[in-house]
Structure 1
Amino acid sequence: MARGDGGQLAELSAGVRGAAAVVDHVAPISLGRLILAGMVAGGVQYGWALQLSLLTPYVQTLGLSHALTSFMWLCGPIAGLVVQPLVGLYSDRCTSRWGRRRPFILTGCMLICVAVIVVGFSSDIGAALGDTKEHCSLYHGPRWHAAIVYVLGFWLLDFSNNTVQGPARAMMADLCDHHGPSAANSIFCSWMALGNILGYSSGSTNNWHKWFPFLKTSACCEACANLKGAFLVAVVFLVLCLTVTLIFAKEVPYRANENLPTTKAGGEVETEPTGPLAVLKGFKDLPPGMPSVLLVTAITWLSWFPFILYDTDWMGREIYHGDPKGSNAQISAFNEGVRVGAFGLLLNSVILGFSSFLIEPMCRKVGPRVVWVTSNFMVCVAMAATALISFWSLRDYHGYVQDAITANASIKAVCLVLFAFLGVPLAILYSVPFAVTAQLAATRGGGQGLCTGVLNISIVIPQVIIALGAGPWDALFGKGNIPAFGVASAFALVGGVVGVFLLPKISKRQFRAVSAGGH
C-alpha cells in the first residue's frame, strides 16, 4: 500500500539532485523482465499486510494498552519524512558497481528480515530477558520485556520498509525505457496488490501452529505461533522476491559527473537543497490549485487512518466481543475476529485491484474532482456504518448468555461486505490525488517529483495526528474503536464538502493528456 507512510517521497529526489551523475546507455528492457524487476514490491507488501492486520491486536496481548497502540504507528510517518528523502538522495548519487538502487534494496530487505524475526519471536525473547515463566495459557498479564522488544522490532520494520520502497520505485522508473513510467507504476502497484492479497490470506489463516507445532512455546501460544509462522513465511517470500529482482533488474553503474555543479561568483560551489529542505523550498513554487489539493488530501487521510489503524481490532472487540486480556473465551473470540478482519482486508485488496483499472476511465468520463469527492462521501457513509454495526452487534450480544461470545452470522457478513466496499474509495485515494498533482505540475512545465513529495507531507501529518490522538480519544469514550470511526466519518464529510468548493477543476481533456503522457 502503499501505504500512506511516506512511500512517494522517493520520487522527490529526482527533482532535487545536487551533484548530478551520468548513467551509461541502457539496452531496452523487455516487458517480462521489467515485471520481474518489480517483484520485490510484492515481497515487501506481503510483510506490510501482516503488519497492518495482526500487529495492533497482538501487541495488546503483551501489555500495551489499547489507548497506547496508536503511538506505536508514529514510526511510519517519521520514517516517511526522514528515511525516504535521505535514501532517495543517496541512491541517486550511489556509484556502486551493482547500480544505484539495488544496494539499498538489498540492505533494506535484510533489515526487514531481521525486524520480522524480532517481532515474531518477541514473546520468547521477553521470556529470556526476565518476563514471567508461567505458561501463556495461564498468564494473561503484561510482559514488558516482550513489549519493548516488539516495539523496537516494529520501528525497525517500518524504517526498513521505507528504505526499500523509495529505491524500488525509482529503479522501476530508471528501467522502464520505452514502456513508460505509467507502465512501470502499474507493474509496481500490481505487485503490491498481489503482496497484499497473499499477506492478508496468510494473516487470516489459523493453522500455522498446526503446520509448524515447534513454534509453540511456554511463552508463545496459538495466536503468537500463528504470527510467527506467517512472518517466517513472509521472510522466505521476501528473499525469493528480492533474489528475482536482483537478477532481472540489471542496473548500469552510475558515474559521477564532476562538471555539473555550478559555482557562484566568488568560486564557491553552489548546491541545491536536498532531502527535507527541498520539500520546504518546494512550498514557495507550488502551482496554483496545489494548496487546495494538499488540504483535501490531509482531510481525506484523517478520515482513513483510524480504520487502517484499528480495522482488525474493531472486528475482534466490537464484532466478536473479544478481549486480548480477558478470559480464555474472550481471547479466543478476539483472535477469531482478527483473523476474519484479515480476510476482510483480503477482500478489500481484491476489490482495490479491480477498481484500480476503472479509476482512469471514470476520471476521463466525469473528471477527477467528481471522482475524488464522491469517494470521500463513500468513506463518510462507510465509517458511519462501522459505528452503527458496532451498536447493532453490542445490542445483539447483550441478548446472549454470558458464555456465548461470538459474532452473529448476519453481522459478520455485513462487515465483510463493508471491508470489500472500502476497496473502491481506497483505490481512488491511491490514484486520483497524484493524478491531479501531476496535472497541476504539468501546467508549470514539470516538477512532478517535487509536487508529489510536498503532497506526501499532507499524507504524513494526518497520520501523526491520528496516531497521537486516536488512542486517548477512544479511551475517553470507553476504550473502544467506535469514537475514532465516528470522527473519521465526520472528517470524510468535511473533506467531501471542502473538495466540492476548493479542488481545482481539471477538464477531461486535460486529464486524458496527462494519462497519455504517462505521468
Structure 2
Amino acid sequence: MLYRQKKLDSMPQSSSWTGTPSIKGSTESIRMALLTFSLVGLQFTWGVEMTYCTPYLLQLGLTKSKTSLVWIAGPLSGLVMGPVIGVLADNSKSKYGRRRPFMIGGAIVVAMGLLVLGWTREIVGFFIPESDLRRVLTITLAVFSIYLVDFAINAIQSTSRSLIVDTLPIPKQQKGSAWASRMIAIGHLAGYGVSTLDLLKVLGSTLGDSQFKQCTVIAALALLISVGVTSWAVDERVLIASKDADVKNGAVKVVTKILKTTWNLPDRIRAICWVQFWSWIGWFPFLFYSSTWVGETYYRYTPTASIADSSDPLGDIGRIGSLSLLIFSIVTFIGSVFLPFVVRSPDNDAKPGQRNFTPRPPAAIAPLAKLLHSSKPDLLTAWMLSHLIFAGSMFLAPFVRSLHMATILVSICGIPWALACWAPFTFMGTEVNRMTAPSTILANGSSYRRLPNASDEFSGSASSPSLLRLNHLDRDLEEDEENEDSSTGETAGIYLGILNLFTTLPQFVGTFISMIVFEILEPGRHPELHKGEDVEGKGEDDVVKKVTEGPNGIAVCLFIGAICAVGAAYATQRMRGLYKRTR
C-alpha cells in the first residue's frame, strides 16, 4: 500500500477545473447563435478590410506589387498569433475563462486600429505639414494599423473557434461549425451590404467625411458588440491548476511545444491541414482582391464608365466591388443554411461494431426518407466538390471583360466558401474531441476513452462532463508522459492554432505570387485612383492604355489560385482514403 501511494504521488498531476460550460438561451438554435455570434463582427471587419484597404493603399500612392507585400500582415499574424494565443489560452487560469479575455482584449485593439486606419491622413497631418515626409508617414501609419488589426483579429478568431470546440460535444461539432459558417456569411452580408450604400448620403458626415472612414467606425462598433454578446452568453470552465508538464512550460517553451505538436500531428489532422493549405493558396487572392478586381473590370472595360469626376474614387470602386461580394455573401448564407441538411456529418459514418441511430419516419414516407438519407453525400465529398467549383469559376477570370460576368463568377464562389468556413473546423473539432474524450480506468489498470453518444443532449445549463486526465497506473506511464497532449482535454487551442498555421502559410505563397504578377503586368501606380497625375514619368493616357490592353494582374492571380484549388481537391480525395483505412 505504501509503495502504491508513493507511485501515485510521483505521477504527473492532471489539470483541475471548476464549473461547467454553458450557454444562455431557451432553445438550441438560440444557444448556437449566441455561441458563434462573435464571428459576425469578425467577418464584418474582414469585409471592410478586404473591400477598401487595397484601393486605399493604392490611393495613398503604393504600387500593386508593394501593396501585395503589405498583405503579408495577414499570414504573418496568423503564423504568430494563431498557435501562440492558442497555447496561452489553453493554459490561462483567468476567472473569466480561457478564451473570452483574449476575445475582448483583441476586439478593443482591433477597434482602435480601425479608427487610426480611417484617420491616418488627419493624424499625420496634425503633426507634419504638407510634404513628401507627410506622405511617407501616412503610408507607414496605415500599414502599421493594418498589421495591428490583422494581429488582433487572428487572436479573436483563434479563441472564438476554440470556444466552440471547448463547449460542444462531438455530435454537435458539425452543427456548431455550420452555425459558425452562417454567422460568417451574415457578417460578410452585413459588411458588403453597408459598403454598397452611399453612407455620406445616408448618414451625412456624422461618422466621418468619407465612405472608408464611416465603414471603419461601423466595423469597430460591430466587432465590439458581437464579441460582447458571445462573451456575455457563454460561461466557460475555469482552469484552476495545469498539469505538471504545463506548469513547467514557460514562454520560451511555447514555440517548441507548437513545433513539436505540428511535427507529430495525428494522420487525420495532418490530412485536414494539407487540404487547408492548398485551398487557401486559392482563397487568399480571391478574398483580398476580388472586390478590387470587379471594380477595375467595370472601369477598364465599360466604355461609358468614368471615374474622372468622382470626389471619392476609393468609395466608388469599393461600392461596385461590394455589390458582387454582397451577392456572394447571400449565396454563402443560403448554402450555410441548407447544405447541413443535405450533407452527412462525419460522426454519422458507421464504425465497426456500431450502428447509427436514425429516427424512424412515418410509415407512409419511410421509402422516400430512406432514399433521401442514403443519397446524402458525406462532408468529404461536398468539400472536394467545392474545391472544383471554385477552380472552375476562377479559371475563367482572365477572360472576363464585363461587370456582369465578374459578378457571376464571384457569386458562384459563395457555395465553396460556405464549405471552406464549415468543413475543416468540423473535421478538426471532431478529431480533437475524439482524442481528448474522458478515460475510464479498467480493472487491469489500462484505460479507454469514451466517445459521447450521438444521443447525448446538449443544453444551456449542462454540457459534456469535465475532461479529466486519468493516467495509466503501470506499464503505459512513461509513454503517457511522453505524449502529454494525446490524452488531455485542453488542447483545442493548439490544434486549431496549427490549423491556422496551414491557413496562413499559403498566404505567404499567394502574397509572393501576387507581387511577381503585379510587378510584371501592372507596374506603376493605379491609374483609376490617380486621374490627372503623371504616373511613373509617363502620361496618364499611356499608362491607362497599357493597363487596359494587357491582362488584368488580379485575374491572373485568381487563375493561379484555381490551379491550387485542384490540388486541394486531390488532397481531399487522399484524405478519404486515409479515413477508410483508419475507420
Scaled by the length of structure 1, what TM-score is found? 0.75
* 2:327 match: 347
Give the C-alpha shift of residue 162 in structure 1: 1.6
Matched-pair contact (CA < 8 Å) for 1:209–1:229: no
State the Cα distance separating 1:382 from its structure 2 match: 1.7
The 1:123–1:271 alpha-carbon spacing in structure 2 relative to 1, beyond 3 Å, is: closer
Aligned to 1:461: 505
Deviation at 1:115, TM superposition (A): 0.5
In the alignment, the residues of structure 2 paired with residue 164 and residue 460 of structure 1 have an alpha-carbon distance, to the nearest angstrom, of: 15
Paired residues of 1:24 and 1:254 also in contact (CA < 8 A):
no
1:320 aligns with 2:299: yes
Q: Output the amino acid matched with 1:350.
A: I
Aligned partner of 2:197 among 205, 208, 228: 205
Matches of 2:227 and 2:571, distance apart in 1: 45
Alignment of 1:237-252 (within 5 A): 237-251=222-236
Cα distance per residue 1:189-227 (max 9 Å; x no partner) = 3322211111111122223366232566xxxxx6xx111
Q: Deviations over 1:120-159 (max 9, x none)?
A: 11121122232538xxxxx9x9932221111111111111
Distance 2:379 2:20 in 1: 38
What SS class does the counterpart of residue 464 from structure 1 fall into? helix
Which of 372, 376, 387 aligns to 1:376? It is 387
Residue 100 of structure 1 pairs with residue 83 of structure 2: no
The CA deviation at 1:362 is 4.4
Deviation at 1:355, TM superposition (A): 1.6
8 A contact 1:109–1:160 mirrored in 2: yes
Q: Pick closer, same or farther for the CA change 1:126–1:498 going to 2, 3 Å.
A: closer
2:128 and 2:134 in contact (8 A); partners too = no
Question: Aligned partners of 2:47, 2:195: CA distance in 1, in Å?
Answer: 8
Q: In 2, distance between residues paired with 1:178 and 1:371?
A: 20
Q: Answer yes or no: is the 8 Å Cα contact 1:200–1:342 preserved in 2.
A: yes
What's the secondary structure of 1:188's corresponding residue? helix
What does residue 425 of structure 1 align with? 416
Instruction: Out of 269-278 and 29-38, give the one that drifted further.
Output: 269-278
Aligned position for 2:288: 309
2:357 alignment partner in structure 1: none
2:89–2:159 Cα contact (<8 Å) kept: yes
Q: SS of the counterpart of 1:255?
A: strand
Please say if residues 38 and 168 of structure 1, whose CA atoms lie closer than 8 Å, have aligned partners that are also in contact. yes
Amino acid at match of 1:343: L
Structure 1 position 294, deviation (Å): 4.5
Q: 1:119 aligns with which of 100, 117, 120?
A: 117
Q: Is the 8 A contact 2:517 2:556 kept in 1?
A: no
Residue of structure 2 equivalent to 1:396: none
Correspondence for 1:40 among 24, 38, 41: 38
Helix, strand or coil: the match of 2:576?
Answer: coil
Q: Cα deviations across residues 31-64 of structure 1 (Å, max 9, x unaligned)?
A: 3355334432222221121111111111111122
Alignment match of 2:317 (pick from 337, 340, 344) = 337
Alignment of 1:145-294 (within 5 A): 145-176=137-168, 180-208=172-200, 211-213=203-205, 225-251=210-236, 253-257=238-242, 260-261=243-244, 275-288=254-267, 294=273
The root-mean-square deviation of aligned C-alpha atoms, in Å, is 4.0
Deviations along 1:322-373, whole A, 9 cap, x unmatched? 9xxx983377666433212112112111211222345453467445554344
Q: CA separation in 1, counterparts of 2:426 and 2:204?
A: 46
User: What is the alpha-carbon distance in structure 1 between the residues aligned to residue 427 and residue 234 of structure 2?
Assistant: 30
Mean CA deviation greater in 106-115 or 27-36: 27-36
Q: Confirm or deny: 8 A CA contact 1:98 1:251 kept in the other structure.
A: yes
One-letter amino acid of the structure 1 residue matched with residue 110 of structure 2: I
Q: 1:161 to 1:56 in 2, by over 3 A?
A: same
Specify the alignment match of 1:5 in structure 2.
none
Q: Letter of the aligned partner of 1:92 in structure 2? A: D
What are the superposed Cα offsets for residues 70-113 of structure 1, whole Å, 9 maximum, x if unpaired?
Answer: 11111111111211222222222322333322222221111111
Are the equivalent residues in 1 in contact too, given 2:344–2:378 (CA < 8 A)?
yes
CA contact (8 A) 2:39 2:187 kept: yes
Choose the corresponding residue for 1:489, options 559, 565, 569: 559
Q: Give the number of the structure with larger relative contact order, counting CA–CA contacts within 8 Å between residues 6 or more apart.
A: 2
SS of corresponding position for 2:90: helix
Task: Report the secondary structure of 2:60's partner residue.
Answer: coil
Mapped to 2, the partners of 1:99 and 1:290 lie a distance apart of 26
2:397 maps to which of 371, 374, 386:
386
Identity of aligned residues (%): 20
Question: Do the aligned partners of residues 48 and 21 (structure 1) sit closer, same or farther apart at CA in structure 2, a change above 3 Å counting?
Answer: farther
Deviations 1:473-498 (A, max 9, x none): 22212346734433542453354267
**Which has the larger Rg?**
2
5+ residue gaps, structure 1, are 1-16, 134-138, 217-221, 393-410, 515-519
- Seen in structure 2, the aligned counterparts of structure 1 residues 20 and 346 have a Cα distance that, compared at 3 Å, is farther
Give deviations 1:306-328, integer Å, cap 9, x for gaps. 22221122123232239xxx983
1:369 touches 1:504 (CA, 8 Å); kept in 2? Answer: no
Are 1:40 and 1:238, in contact at CA under 8 Å, matched by a contact in 2? Answer: yes
The answer to whether the 8 A contact 1:67-1:471 is kept is: yes
Aligned to 1:50: 48
TM norm structure 2: 0.67
TM-aligned CA deviation for residue 161 of structure 1:
0.9
The separation in 1 between residues aligned to 2:435 and 2:233, in whole angstroms, is 36
Change (3 A) 1:95 1:485: same
| CA distance in structure 2 between the partners assigned to 1:270 and 1:168 by the alignment | 24
CA contact (8 A) 2:181 2:421 kept: no
Instruction: List aligned pairs for 1:68-79, cutoff 5 A.
Output: 68-79=66-77
- Shift in alpha-carbon separation, 1:377–1:249, aligned structure 2, 3 A: closer
Does structure 2 conserve the Cα–Cα contact (< 8 Å) formed by 1:262 and 1:271? Answer: no
2-structure distance, mates of 1:175, 1:293: 21
Match of 2:455 in 1: none
Amino acid at match of 2:556: G
Please say if residues 347 and 420 of structure 1, whose CA atoms lie closer than 8 Å, have aligned partners that are also in contact. yes
Give, in whole Å, the separation in 2 of the partners of 1:444 and 1:472: 43
1:471 aligns with 2:545: no
Distance in 2 of aligned mates of 1:100 and 1:290: 23
Q: Distance in 2 between matches of 1:178 and 1:465?
A: 34
Secondary structure of 1:159 counterpart: helix
